[in-house]
Structure 1
Amino acid sequence: MISFARLLLRRITLLIALLATVFVAVDLLPGSTGRAVLGREATEQQVAAKEHELGLDRPLPVRFLDWASGVLTGDFGQTARGRSINDLLADKFPPTLLLGGLALLLTVVLSLLLGAWWAAGRDGIAGRARVEATGRARLGRGLTSGLEPATTMAAAVPEFVLATLLISVFALATGWLPAVTITGRSGFPVSADMLVLPVLALAIPQIGWNARVVRAALTGAATAPHVENAVLEGLSRPAVLVRHVLPFAAPTIVASFATTVGMVLGGSLVVETIFNYPGLGAVLAGSVADRDTSVVAAVVALSGVVVMLMLAVADGIRARSLRGRG
């Protein structure tokens, strides 16, 4: 319990340091927030008055502490254009959560299936769980040799490159799926097919990476003596995988999926811009253009909290698994 609390405190400290870095980075961007809000026609006096109104003439540490004290009470403040950041996040975060949630769900399901199939192949668990007394014991075999280059390629391709490729093939060349997102009154896409390409652009790289993690975790767990005993007892391949291999591999797999949450959230900000998706991506792009530090920091803080919660879940599963082994 003490180690978990210490780990949580460390992550909170890292998040605070990240937010402080965001304040410094946005402040170093060229341009003026007042000029971005008022336009090029505004005079220097008007720009200076606007920045004084926004409190931008105060020292940066004072502005950060003032913003952080408001966050502790649940108030992210206002944008440079006068809108409540809380309302802005309430409008734009649910569509991003939908997009990221679908991509994460697809990643988890396909990574587990591909990783388990790969691990059960000729060079995976089957190769590690041979029982000499029976001459040969295999948990499964399959044509898995193509997964090595396929998953490597999928994990290596950036989301924006994959999104462009998907648009070229499935929107421009074939016309099967829309390339842009049209938003309804609810703030969500008007049809489900508008989610297909953004979800695939987010999920494919993560499937490539996590399938490799699942395969490595399962093949590593298969070296345990109780797996060979299970094979000797004549248990079926699914039973061995689910009852004897997967529980030992679960901590590594869950930790990888928890890390994937951060990757999906970060990637969604880029993918949303490409597909004109109505989420936090457009908010972040606009706030950077306006040099609106409070909005950028709010998006980072919200994403950081989500990632921290997922990592906490992974830590709990890991601790429970290790306790069960002891």
Structure 2
Amino acid sequence: MAADGARFGGVPRVIVRAGALLSCASTVIFLITEALPGDAAVVRSGGRATAEQLDRLRAEAGLDRPLAERYVSWLAGTLSGDPGHSLLTGRPVAELIGQRMPVTLTLAAAALALAVPLMAILAWAAVGGPRPLRPVITGLVVGGAALPQVALAALLVALLSAAWKLVPPVSLLPAGEPPWSRPALLVLPVLTLALPAAAYGAALLRGAVADAVSRPFVRDAGLRGVSAAAVALRYVFPVVAPAAVRLLAVVAGGLVAGTTVVETLFGLAGLGELLVSSVGGRDLPVVQAVTLLAAAVVAAGLITADAVALAVDPRGGAAR
């Protein structure tokens, strides 16, 4: 019975939690997007259609159906891999997302690859670095986490582009060209995404690192002359790994969401820019699909985090 309970409280529970998260996210996303003022029929008509023409456009788009019916239809289509068609262009939503996804994935992956080691270094330095520098590092972490992306983007453009002429100020890619073919165009948007994410992650991870460092076996390792790097890798990392992976799940989801601002600022045609234009056009199927995709990224990260927690401490992971 105990083994069955642990098994139920472990991997199956992780899957149930992820499913519940996505279910709640889909409901919230659908209701919020449906509550947006105006609709695609008004946008398509340019505000010049009569009431009868608007009714016909709404009927063609299925906007005249009851809310519950539209939700069930959208959810069934999403689960089957067909989130519908754009209300403005008539193109399949999956096709639109597939065209924009390489840009966003490249940005998010590059930003995550930069943010993760920087986050770990800052969190460790704020706790285990030289004592005179700890308050300075902590201040930089808190300030960086609070700095708006727009302000950071302006600062980076002023320094790296206007003053030092190192990279172009915008990232307009030729049509059909993969984003990784021109790395210089990605420098500013990647830094704009990665630096605040690293600071935010370090601010949250700092507490877990401080708790791990205060444990007796970690202090004993330092007294025995073990180097700071070895202490961090051998003793601190296993303790903070579950919390760190959970944090990475949130950071990864935040990076995907953050591309909305960054892609718009730097002229990149990714999912973020698609989301902004779709919200403006009240293209609900596109808005719902893109936002649900961001929620799915967070859910996938949380599943991975719970799996890591179970691997590190099966009893603790099951208890959670």
TM-score, reference length from structure 1: 0.86
Equivalent residues in 2 for 1:87-236 (5 A)? Answer: 87-123=95-131, 143-189=133-179, 191-236=182-227
| Contact 2:170-2:185 within 8 A present in 1 as well | yes
Could you tell me how far 1:13 is from its partner in structure 2? Answer: 2.7
Asked whether the equivalents of residues 126 and 138 of structure 2 are also in contact (C-alpha less than 8 Å), the reply is no
| Mapping 1:1-326, distance limit 5 Å | 1-3=7-9, 4-80=11-87, 81-123=89-131, 143-189=133-179, 191-323=182-314
For these two proteins, the number of residue pairs brought into alignment is 308
After TM superposition, give the deviation of residue 188 of structure 1 in Å: 3.4
Deviation at 1:41, TM superposition (A): 4.1
- Aligned to 1:184, the other structure's residue is in SS state coil
Query: Separation in 1 of the partners of 2:278 and 2:293?
Result: 15
Larger Rg: 1
- Residue 122 of structure 1: how far off its partner (Å): 4.2
Aligned partners of 1:33 and 1:291 also within 8 Å: yes
RMSD value over aligned CA atoms? 2.3
Closer/same/farther in 2, CA of residues 251 and 50 from structure 1, 3 Å limit: same
Alpha-carbon distance between aligned partners in 1 of 2:78 and 2:44, rounded to the nearest angstrom? 24
Contact 2:145 2:203 in 1 (8 A): no
Q: Residue 291 of structure 1: SS of its match in structure 2?
A: coil
One-letter code aligned to 2:190: V
Once the two structures are overlaid, the 10-residue window that deviates more, 9-18 or 46-55, is: 9-18
Identity %: 34
Q: Offset at 1:163?
A: 1.8
What amino acid does structure 2 have at the position aligned with 1:255? R
* CA displacement at 1:199 relative to structure 2: 0.9
Q: Partners of 1:22 and 1:228 in 2: how far apart?
A: 47
110-119 or 146-155, which deviates more: 110-119
In structure 2, what is the equivalent of residue 135 of structure 1? Answer: none
DSSP-derived class of the 2:313 partner = helix
Offset at residue 323 of structure 1 (A): 3.1
**Aligned-partner SS, 1:155:** helix
Q: Which amino acid in the other structure matches residue 83 of structure 1?
A: R
SS in 1 for 2:135: coil
Contact conserved, 1:287 with 1:296, CA < 8 A, in 2? yes
For 2:80 and 2:41, the matched residues in 1 are separated by 27
2:59 and 2:170 map into 1 onto residues whose CA distance is: 39
Structure 1, 159-168 or 255-264: larger mean CA deviation:
159-168
- CA distance in structure 2 between the partners assigned to 1:230 and 1:173 by the alignment: 47
Deviates more, 1:70-79 or 1:41-50: 41-50
Q: TM-score, normalised by structure 2?
A: 0.88
Structure 1 residues not aligned, in runs of 5+: 124-141
Higher RCO, 1 vs 2 (CA within 8 Å, ≥6 residues apart): 2
Does the 8 Å CA contact 1:103/1:203 hold for their aligned counterparts? yes
